[in-house]
Amino acid sequence: MSLTYKRIIVKIGSNVLTQDNGLPDTARIQHLVDQLAALKKQGREVIVVSSGAVASGRSLVQVSDKADAVTNRQLLAAVGQVKLLSTYAQLFSQHDLVCAQVLVTKEDFRDRVHYLNMQNCFGALLQNNIIPIVNENDVISVTELMFTDNDELAGLIASMLNADALLILSNVNGIYTGDPKDPSSELLREIEPTTTSFSSFVTTQRSQFGRGGMITKCHMAHKVAQLGIAVHIANGKTENILPRLLSGEVENTRFIPSKIASGKKKWIAHSETAAKGVIHINAGAKAALTTPGKAVSLLPVGVTRLTGEFQKGDIIKLVDEHQKPVGLGLAEYGSDKAAERLGQKNQKPLVHYDYLFLNAEIS
Annotated binding site for substrate: 51, 138, 150
- Known binding residues: 11, 51, 138, 150
Characterize the bridge pairing of strands 190-191 and 253-255.
Answer: parallel
Helix, strand, or coil (residue 14): helix
> Largest Cα–Cα distance in the chain?
66
Identify which of 239, 236, 307, 174 has the alpha carbon closest to the alpha carbon of residue 10. 236
- On whether the CB atoms of residues 316 and 351 are closer than 8 A, the answer is yes
User: How many Cβ atoms from other residues are within 10 Å of residue 200's Cβ?
Assistant: 11
- Known binding residues for ATP: 11
Identify which of 29, 17, 13 has the alpha carbon closest to the alpha carbon of residue 168. 13
The phi, psi pair for 35, rounded to 5°, reads: -70, -40
Identify which of 44, 240, 252 has the alpha carbon closest to the alpha carbon of residue 167. 252
Instruction: Compute the radius of gyration of the chain from its Cα atoms.
Output: 22
User: How many Cβ atoms from other residues are within 10 Å of residue 324's Cβ?
Assistant: 10
Please state, in angstroms and rounded to a whole number, the distance separating the CA atoms of residues 317 and 24. 41
CA angle in degrees (0–180, nearest 5) for 46-227-185: 85
